[in-house]
Amino acid sequence: MGFVVEFLGIEPMKVVPHELQGLCQSARAAADELASVFGSLEPDVTRVADGWYGAAGSEFSAHWHEVRSRSRVVIDGLSQISASLDGVRRGYTEADNSAADHIEVLNLD
């Protein structure tokens, strides 16, 4: 089931709530997977960095810190996308249900 949304001067857009839900779940799963991967790498990278001295070790640690920091931005972004999509899906579903509640059915029996 889906419904059409029109904005002034813009082509109509069909919204399919279960597809939005699937997209929301995919974004959430991607965020969770990325967080899990970086979480599992952390002990190994820390062990390598702790035993690596000198300029190369410092450079490695700095780069890892940058990669980890940027991964958190991506994870947070994917989580926000997931939450936003879920909010949009709920809004469309509530609007559709509200509109359906106001439709009177003609019984021809």
- The CATH number linked to 63 is 1.10.287.1060
Q: Find where tokens 């509530």 sit.
A: 94
Largest Cα–Cα distance of the chain, in whole Å?
A: 87
Burial of 88 (0-12, 13-18, 19+ CB in 10 A): middle
pLDDT score of 36:
98
The whole model's pTM is what? 0.74
Asked whether residue 4 is domain-assigned, the answer is: no
46-97 per-position pLDDT tens digit: 999 999 999 999 999 999 999 999 999 999 999 999 999 999 999 888 888 8
Packing angle, helices 17-50 and 54-101, rounded to 10: 160
Q: What is the pLDDT of residue 27?
A: 96
Q: Which residue has the higher pLDDT, 99 or 78?
A: 78
Q: When comparing pLDDT for 3 and 98, which is higher?
A: 98
Alpha helix stretches (DSSP H) within the chain? 17-50, 54-101
Q: Is residue 104 part of a domain?
A: no
Q: Domain range for residue 62?
A: 18-92
